[in-house]
Amino acid sequence: MFSSFNLLSMQTAEDCRKITMLGVPADKVIALGNLKYDMEQPDGTEKEGVLPELSGQGRLIWVCGSTHPGEEKVIFSAVAQLFSRRNQQKIAEQLFLILAPRDINRGQELVDLARSFGLEAGTRTGGEKKGRVLILDTLGELALCYSQADLAFVGGSLVRQGGHNPIEPAIHGVPVLFGPHMEDFSEIAQELLDCGGGKTVTVNSLTEMLASLLTDKEARMTMGQAAQGLVEHHRGGVRRHVHAVRSLLAFSNEKQ
């Protein structure tokens, strides 16, 4: 099968090593980076149009994206604990949680779950905004919500789902939290950890990490800048792939 390819484009040098171990000639393998780093950012106009009520001064917006069953309970518990602490009252007054489940049909289920932790919640499609928990039961708005976030959590990672794309918040300069199960995005997650743009949390550590970062604006800014810097460093994958394809086509035409 591999002999039918003229070129195999891999994400990393490690991927190249693995594919050559399977018998692919090294001169047919090249590392051109991860295309996800070339995701487009929403422009300023789009950002202003999403949830404008959250743009007021003094808000601390925590966006939890692509969450799975089992994770929301941990998230709501962490928020409820912060709200109950006397020494965290300033955070309690400012914090607004946007939770975007992977399955948007779970909206009402999550509203009910939030209420079981004493948190008033409403859905994006429900019209009336209740409390300071919003369940994003729509498609196509998560990236725009990340653009307004002060802190992000990427779901599918506190449970064994392999995680979701942490570049989505990082591209906006938002500090990124994720659980230990980031197998599907292991290299990106590790690079975020190495550069200081991301932190791993567990069921037991989420509350304290949340409290620490929400009370430390400078730490959030440092993390966000590191995360965005990593994205900028890796940009250009699309251009490199286009160049490789053009080179292949030119070579093919010369042979003909």
pLDDT of the residue at 84: 92
Task: Read off the pLDDT band of 52 (50, 70, 90).
Answer: low
Pick 91 or 189 by higher pLDDT: 189
Rounded CA-CA distance 214/178 in Å is 16
Average pLDDT over residues 140-165: 95
Residue 83 has pLDDT above 60, yes or no: yes
Rounded CA-CA distance 111/122 in Å is 6
pLDDT of the residue at 177: 98
Rounded CA-CA distance 13/33 in Å is 9
Among 141, 122, 142, CA closest to 132: 122
SS3 213: helix
Domains of the chain, first to last: 1-33 (no CATH), 51-234 (3.40.50.2000)
pLDDT of the residue at 54: 60
Average pLDDT over residues 29-58: 70
Q: pTM here? A: 0.87
* Identity at 18, one-letter amino acid code: K
Burial of 14 (C-beta count, 10 Å sphere; 0-12/13-18/19+): exposed
Tokens of 229: 């810097």
Rounded CA-CA distance 86/109 in Å is 29
Least confident among 22-36, 37-51, 62-76, 238-252: 37-51
pLDDT of the residue at 22: 94
Pick 92 or 5 by higher pLDDT: 5
SS3 readout for 120-163: CEEEHHHCCCCCCEEECCCCCCHHHHHCCCCEEEECCCCCCCCC
Among 172, 214, 224, CA closest to 59: 214
Residue found under tokens 């304290």: 208
SS3 205: coil
Where helices occur in 10-50 by DSSP H, the ranges are: 13-21, 44-49
Rounded CA-CA distance 241/237 in Å is 6
Strand stretches in the chain, DSSP E: 8-10, 29-31, 60-67, 95-101, 121-123, 133-135, 151-154, 176-178, 198-200
Please answer whether residues 237 and 37 qualify as being in contact, where contact means their C-beta atoms are separated by less than 8 angstroms. yes
Taking all residues of the chain, what is their mean pLDDT, rounded to a whole number? 91
pLDDT of the residue at 59: 85
**pLDDT (tens digit, 9 = 90+) per residue, 99-131?**
999 999 999 999 999 999 999 999 999 876 678
Residue 49 has pLDDT above 60, yes or no: no
